[in-house]
Amino acid sequence: MIELKNVCKQFGSVEVLSQIALEIQTGEIVGFLGHNGAGKTTLMRIMTTYLPATSGQVFIDGKNAATASLAIRAKIGYLPEKPPLYPNMTVNEYLTLAGRLHNVRPRDLKGAIASVCAECWLTDVQNSPIAILSKGYQQRVGIAQAIIHNPAILILDEPTSGLDPLQVVQVRALIKRCQSQRTVIVSTHILSEIEHLATRVVIIKQGTIAADASVEEVIRTQQSNTLEEAFLKLNRGRSPISC
Is 132 exposed, middle or buried (CB count within 10 Å of its CB: 0-12, 13-18, 19+)?
exposed
Q: What are phi and psi of 125, to 5 degrees?
A: -120, 20
In a domain, 155, yes or no: no
Tell me what percent of the residues of the chain surpass a pLDDT of 70.
Answer: 96
Q: Do 61 and 85 have their domain in common? A: no
**Confidence at residue 180, expressed as pLDDT on a 0 to 100 scale:** 67
What would the pLDDT profile of 140-152 be if each residue is shown by its tens digit?
999 999 999 999 9
- Residue-wise pLDDT for 75-108, tens only, equals 999 999 888 999 999 999 999 999 999 999 999 9
Do both 68 and 182 map to the same domain? yes
CA separation for the pair 150, 75 (Å, rounded): 8
Q: Is 62 in the same domain as 82?
A: no
How far, in Å, CA of 17 to CA of 207, rounded?
4
Its domain, for residue 232, covers 1-75+160-237
* Co-location of 170 and 201 in the same domain: yes
> Do residues 64 and 179 both lie within one domain?
yes
d(CA 113, CA 98): 10
Q: Kind and range of the H or E element at 9?
A: strand 2-11
CA-CA distances (angstroms) from residue 225 to 32, 79, 190? Answer: 20, 33, 17
Query: Are 61 and 168 within one domain?
Result: yes
| Residue type present at position 230 | A
| Predicted structure pTM score | 0.89
- Residue 241 clears pLDDT 50, i.e. is over it: no
Q: Are residues 10 and 51 in the same domain?
A: yes
- Which residues make beta-bridge pairs with 213? 201
DSSP 83-145: ----TTSBHHHHHHHHHHHTT--HHHHHHHHHHHHHHTT-GGGTTSBGGGS-HHHHHHHHHHH
pLDDT given at position 69: 93
For strand 183-188 and strand 14-24, is the pairing parallel, antiparallel, or unpaired?
Answer: unpaired
pLDDT value at 73 more than 70: yes
243 or 136: which carries more pLDDT confidence?
A: 136
Last residue in a domain, options 150, 183, 208: 150
* 38 DSSP assignment: S
- My answer on whether 206 and 102 are in the same domain is no
Look at residue 243 and tell me if it is in a domain. no
Number of domains in the chain: 2
Let me know if residue 139 belongs to a domain: yes
Is the domain of 94 the same as that of 211? no
DSSP 221: H
Question: Domain boundary at 118, 150, 182, which?
Answer: 150
What residues contact residue 221 under an 8 Å CB cut-off, 6+ apart?
211, 213, 230
- 125: confidence class by pLDDT, cuts 50, 70, 90: very high
H/E element holding 34? none
Same domain for 89 and 113, yes or no, is: yes
Q: How far is 183 from 131, CA to CA, in rounded Å?
A: 30
